[in-house]
A and B are shown apart, each in its own frame.
Chain A
Amino acid sequence: MLRFLVRRLLQAIPTLLILSILIFAWLRSLPGGPAGALLGDKATPEKIADLNKLLGLDDPIFVQYFKFLGRAITGDFGNSLVSAQPVMSEIGNFLPATLELGFCAMLIAVGLGIPFGYLSARFRGGAVDNIIIVLSLVGVAVPVFFLGYMMQDALAAPLGLPSQGRQMAGLDATTVTGFAVFDGIITQEWDAAWDAITHLILPAFALATIPLAVIVRITRASVLDVLNEDFIRTANSKGLTQPIVRRRHVLRNGLLPVVTVIGLQTGALLGGAVLTERVFNFRGLGFLLAEGIERRDYPRLQALLLFGALVYVLVNTLVDISYGLIDPRVRVR
């Protein structure tokens, strides 16, 4: 297992290197540029040219890339153009929000997706199945930002839920780890913990919609496959009770493809988080990225995109490991 892990992590290096070149080249090809972003709306072309010279942005692109790479290897991604803070410390500050939101969204997606998928398969062709299928189709089809705005307009006020941010503005909560709910609990600031939970509800549901719908459909398909297998018939004929057959045989075997999808969806969650965090002003990495794109914040974008790629590689490695845990045959191979 260790060798497998090391090999996977070593594979990540060329992947990240290639990605760094692509990201760097893409950002440099965008019109506008960091000098314009730094100087603001009243920047004149002359001032932009002068600042490009000062910052070395008029050097050949490969010179700029190697300078960037040299600094990046030491963990220095420079300062954000928008906030003037070191990008790495920004990522550290904003990461807990995204993890918190992503965790809740996946909790909702998995917690509801597997049971609904299973129910759908079990009552195949019936009313329950049809309703679940239609809802999951809608879930995949509705864009996150649209859903977010709809939830804000239709749900926030009637349910008394906040639609903006991670915490009520001006709330004087103690920050220990940056995970707002967790911090509220460990410092026993219950009002802060509750406030953080209420702020999570709408964005977490918005972000969960797509993975939820995907998990429902994959679970349904997978469970249907398993239900048709010979060993289920054998188990039934042995006289095992239905709950045991479902738990030990149907679910266990049906979950393997679901785990893969959960892994992939966790990676994709970062993409969804950009829109969700933006719409709900939930200040996580997605929010940072959206703001970075708008303001042409090269240092921030470079660091965030590479960080996202790293997370994706890590999540996929974890998925492969969990495969082995669920199905021993994978380990043997």
Chain B
Amino acid sequence: MQQLRVTRARRVALIGLAGALAVSISACAESKREEGAGGGSGGTMVFGAAGNPKTFDPLFNDDGETFRIIRQMMDTLIMNKPGTADLEPGLAEKWEGSNEGKTWTFSLKKGVKFHDGTPFNAEAVCFNFNRMFNMKGAAAQSQMIYYGDVFEGFAKNEGDASGAPVFKDCQVKDESTAVLNLNKAKGAFPAAFTLPSFSIQSPDALKKYNADQVTQSGDSFSYPEYALKHPTGTGPFKFESWDQAKGEITLSKATDSPTQTAKLDKLVFKVIPDENARKQALKAGDIQGYDYPSPADYGLLRNDGEQVLIRPSFNILYLGINQKNNPKLKDLKVRQALAYGLNRAQFVKSKLPEGAETATQFVPKAIDGYNENVTKYDYNLQKAKDLLKEAGAEGMTLKFYYPTEVTRPYMPNPADIFTSLSEDMKAMGIKVEPIAKPWNGGYKDDVQKAGKHDVHLLGWTGDYNDAGNFVGTFFGREKPEFGFNDSALFSAISAADAAPAGEAHTKAYQEVNQKIMEYLPAIPISYGPPAIVVGPKVKGLVASPLTDERFYTVTVN
């Protein structure tokens, strides 16, 4: 009995002790949580990212999740005005294109230093552009997607690189003036200088950590220490750590003569691939913001007191038309019938999130070259039916491909979009054969490579303020996706691309947009505004059409 009493007493004491320990540890955790969420001077902001960054050398990257982090650490010569796609000075105070757009002179900011303390100057700029142009190794060149797109070729092409280089040389005119000479003018400039891939990095750090040593490793690539641990730029935040197991990338405020001064002490990106999980993390206060909220959640998020910041549209959703797969679609009248018969305004109103607009052409409004006066195809069912009759295509069948397992800023719910557009087609008397395929599981192959479809859903989010980045990508040459060959249209786009920046360039693309809407190789549907969410205590984040949000202006109270 005595023993039993002792045992019971010990048990009670142990439970009490465990309880007290739990409470005290919990109090510690709580206090640390409060500290982490914005205590101290500038505080910490944790942002929920939808995916892993690949590496931190911007030259070898092309995806939004990587660029979001790089944009906080590195600057480009020219940047985008916050909240717009307009250009504003970055590391270059001024820039000037001459020689019909073949020479670009940059007057650089003075007194700027890289995070490793080395000076930023014209030599550093030329070092970076020479590095890109002279990059060796098929593995490295194949990963330089944007350099390949914009500058077209290397000093010595290797692997899949095959173009003639646009870059000629870079001259250091003086300490703060760099001159970039090109072999040919290109409409992408100067806007393409805003691409994070062309961020200016510390030459010392690039050399010290073997930044160019990208090699092939099995089915993939190996990156040097620079790209994984030592990215060094001039931005308001500098790289601290990348914890793969935790999925956290930590940046800290850069204090050595940064280009802009950050208000936060720390900026942490936490990778949470699941959209619902990001929402839960925001609700729980684990993160203070995240990207790609589902449009269905906008209202709920706002009710909870979160800030849903709508970005200006910089994308396009279109109904692609494959003239090769279905000869009836070669007839302009049939394509016009589709344009008149799709009730796009109604679709935008009922199925897309707030701020979405009916597209009139294949570039969004923010782009230079957008044309207010293109041929418009307002909804007119009778006209659509008449045109089909004239073309002898009444009752035609269309294989309508649409993707599954995907959400895109321009396409929040592909199945919903398909349903809406196919109902309109049925009203025109068209028989619709639906073919759904997973986005990464054959859809893109079937549509873009094999051209198995008659019509399909696809879209594009722009990279920089250039119409060529949209219409050139779609209709600049013959592609299985659209299955037409119109040399007049191809050469008009090519000429617009070569027109020097400024009025001539804008006008050339306005004309191209008009031509495209007359020829109707596809039907523009909508411009969709994606959103970004931040908690109620976050102040100063400006939503950007290019997802170019810079966190140095942000405070977390």
**Any A CB within 8 A of the CB of B29:** yes
The contact of B280 among A36, A79, A156, A191, by CB within 8 Å, is: A156
The contact of A53 among B160, B228, B266, by CB within 8 Å, is: B160
Q: Mark B197-218, 1 if CB is under 8 A from A, else 0.
A: 0000000000000000000111
Q: Mark B115-154, 1 if CB is under 8 A from A, else 0.
A: 0000000000000000000000011001101000000000
**Any B CB within 8 A of the CB of A291:** yes
The contact of A190 among B28, B160, B244, B438, by CB within 8 Å, is: B28
**Any B CB within 8 A of the CB of A211:** no
Tell me the complex Cα distance, A220–B165, Å. Answer: 75
Tell me the complex Cα distance, A152–B223, Å. Answer: 38
Tell me the complex Cα distance, A97–B244, Å. Answer: 12
**Any B CB within 8 A of the CB of A312:** no
State whether A168 touches B220 (Cβ < 8 A). no
State whether A149 touches B440 (Cβ < 8 A). no
**Any A CB within 8 A of the CB of B221:** yes
* Known contacts A36-B440, A278-B274; is-contact A164 B280 (Cβ 8 Å): yes
Q: Mark A157-191, 1 if CB is under 8 A from B, else 0.
A: 10000111111111100010010000000000011
State whether A79 touches B286 (Cβ < 8 A). no
Among A1-9, A193-201, A320-328, the stretch in contact with B:
A193-201
Q: Which of A57-76 contact B (CB under 8 A)?
A: 57, 67-68, 71, 76
Closest to B463 in A: A42
User: Would you give the shortest CB distance from A114 to chain B, in whole angstroms?
Assistant: 21
State whether B36 touches A171 (Cβ < 8 A). yes
**Any A CB within 8 A of the CB of B46:** yes
Among A229-237, A254-262, A292-300, the stretch in contact with B:
A292-300
Q: Mark B220-249, 1 if CB is under 8 A from A, else 0.
A: 111100011000000000000000111110
Among B87-95, B370-378, B425-433, B442-450, the stretch in contact with A:
B442-450
Tell me the complex Cα distance, A243–B546, Å. Answer: 72
State whether A77 touches B245 (Cβ < 8 A). no
Closest to B266 in A: A170
User: Would you give the shortest CB distance from A196 to chain B, in whole angstroms?
Assistant: 10
**Any B CB within 8 A of the CB of A11:** no
User: Would you give the shortest CB distance from A43 to chain B, in whole angstroms?
Assistant: 8
**Any A CB within 8 A of the CB of B10:** no
Interface size class of B (residues with CB under 8 A): 35 or more
State whether A45 touches B284 (Cβ < 8 A). no
* Known contacts A45-B448, A80-B220; is-contact A157 B283 (Cβ 8 Å): yes
State whether A83 touches B52 (Cβ < 8 A). yes
Closest to A39 in B: B145
**Any A CB within 8 A of the CB of B367:** no
The contact of B284 among A48, A57, A157, A190, by CB within 8 Å, is: A157
Q: Which of B33, B63, B272, B440 has the most CB of A within 10 A?
A: B440
State whether A54 touches B277 (Cβ < 8 A). no
Q: Which of B312-369 contact A (CB under 8 A)?
A: none
Closest to B215 in A: A79
Tell me the complex Cα distance, A53–B158, Å. Answer: 12
* Known contacts A44-B448, A47-B160, A194-B25; is-contact A82 B218 (Cβ 8 Å): no
State whether A194 touches B28 (Cβ < 8 A). yes
Contact partners of A281 in chain B: CB under 8 A: 247, 272-274, 277, 281
State whether A298 touches B219 (Cβ < 8 A). yes
Which secondary structure dominates where chain B touches chain A? mixed
Tell me the complex Cα distance, A162–B270, Å. Answer: 15
Closest to B244 in A: A93
Tell me the complex Cα distance, A190–B30, Å. Answer: 12
Tell me the complex Cα distance, A215–B142, Å. Answer: 53
User: Would you give the shortest CB distance from B54 to chain A, in whole angstroms?
Assistant: 6
**Any A CB within 8 A of the CB of B164:** no
Contact partners of B287 in chain A: CB under 8 A: 169
Contact partners of B44 in chain A: CB under 8 A: 170
Q: Which of B142, B159, B246, B281 has the most CB of A within 10 A?
A: B246
The contact of A152 among B143, B250, B280, B445, by CB within 8 Å, is: B280
Closest to B53 in A: A83
The contact of B273 among A44, A83, A157, A291, by CB within 8 Å, is: A291
Tell me the complex Cα distance, A139–B261, Å. Answer: 54
User: Would you give the shortest CB distance from A75 to chain B, in whole angstroms?
Assistant: 12
Contact partners of A167 in chain B: CB under 8 A: 246
Contact partners of B283 in chain A: CB under 8 A: 157
Contact partners of B248 in chain A: CB under 8 A: 169-170
The contact of A170 among B54, B227, B268, by CB within 8 Å, is: B268
Contact partners of A90 in chain B: CB under 8 A: 244
Tell me the complex Cα distance, A150–B220, Å. Answer: 38
User: Would you give the shortest CB distance from B537 to chain A, in whole angstroms?
Assistant: 15
Contact partners of B156 in chain A: CB under 8 A: none
Contact partners of B223 in chain A: CB under 8 A: 84
Closest to B145 in A: A39
State whether A94 touches B245 (Cβ < 8 A). yes
**Any B CB within 8 A of the CB of A55:** yes
**Any A CB within 8 A of the CB of B307:** no
Contact partners of A53 in chain B: CB under 8 A: 160
Contact partners of B250 in chain A: CB under 8 A: 170
Given contact pairs A41-B63, A170-B248, enumerate 17 new A-B contacts (beta carbons under 8 Å): A32-B440, A36-B445, A39-B145, A50-B160, A51-B142, A54-B160, A79-B217, A79-B218, A83-B244, A163-B277, A163-B280, A164-B277, A165-B272, A169-B287, A190-B25, A191-B28, A291-B52
What are 27 pairs between A and B in contact, CB < 8 Å? A32-B444, A34-B220, A37-B440, A40-B63, A44-B448, A54-B216, A55-B219, A56-B219, A67-B218, A68-B218, A80-B220, A82-B51, A93-B245, A152-B276, A164-B277, A164-B284, A165-B246, A167-B246, A169-B248, A170-B36, A170-B248, A170-B266, A171-B36, A191-B29, A290-B273, A291-B52, A296-B440
**Chain B interface residues (CB < 8 Å from chain A):** 22, 24-26, 28-29, 31-33, 36, 44, 46, 51-52, 54-55, 62-63, 138-139, 142-143, 145, 159-160, 216-223, 227-228, 244-248, 250, 266, 268, 270, 272-274, 276-277, 280-281, 283-284, 286-287, 408, 438, 440-442, 444-445, 448-449, 480
Q: Which 8 A-B pairs have the closest CB atoms?
A: A78-B218, A50-B160, A31-B442, A194-B25, A45-B449, A191-B28, A169-B46, A79-B220
